[in-house]
Structure formats: structure tokens, C-alpha cells
Amino acid sequence: MTKASFKAEVAMLLDTESAKLSPETVLASVGTWDSVAQLSFIAMAMDHFSTPPRPDNVARCETYGDLEALYDRELIE
């Protein structure tokens, strides 16, 4: 998965635009980052990556950069 499409997926589940997401963007500041959004993220990740994220790691994410870091090794430019 490319970084751009990953960003687009995250933007969609936050109901925002990709352009508004940078590594420093606080997720809660651009959308609702609650348990439902976290489940949506997990479902998206399971569709695109070989392993699901660790739930605690997802829950700890505060910024877009935190989310991207979960799959840093699998995301391509």
C-alpha cells in the first residue's frame, strides 16, 4: 500500500481530507478518533496488510504520524 492511499483511507474514516493530514496532525483535531474509528482503522488495516495491528497500539495513537508508524515498514512511497 502506498503512503498516499494509506493517508486517503485514514482521511476517509476520519471524514476529512488527505491534505489536512500531516505526521503531526492530532487525529482528534480533524475528526472523531474514538473506539468506532479505531475499529474502522483496524478493519482497513486488515484489508491491506498481512498482519492486523495490535489493538493497544491503535488505541495509543494520537497523531497521524503515530498511525503511519504502525505500518512504516510496509508502506511504500
Partner 1 sequence: MIGSVGVIAAHYHVPAMRLTHDELVARFGVEKMTAIAESSGIWERRIAPAGVTGADLAFTAADEMLTHHQIDRSSIDYLIYCTQTPDYLIPTTACILQDRLGLRKSIGAVDLNQGCSQYVYGLQLAHALVSSGHARRILVMTGDADTKIIHPLDRANVPLFGDAGTASIVGPVEAGAGILSFEVGTDGASHGLLIQPSSGARVPRSADTSVEQVDKDGNVRTAEHLHMDGRSIFIFGLSVVPKLIDQLLARTGHQKDDVDVFILHQANKFMIDSILKRAGIPLTKTHYCLRHTGNSGGSTVPIAMSEAWSAGRLRPGSLVALVAFGVGLSWAATLMRWPDQALGPVFAKPQFDA
Query: Which residues contact partner 1 (rule: CB under 8 A)?
Result: 32, 34-36, 38-40, 42-43, 46-47, 52, 55, 58-59
35/72 with CB nearer partner 1: 35
38/63 with CB nearer partner 1: 38
E strands, the chain, in order? none
Least distance from partner 1 to the Cβ atom of residue 49, Å? 12
34 CB-side CA count, 13 A: 3
- The Cα 77–Cα 58 span in angstroms is 22
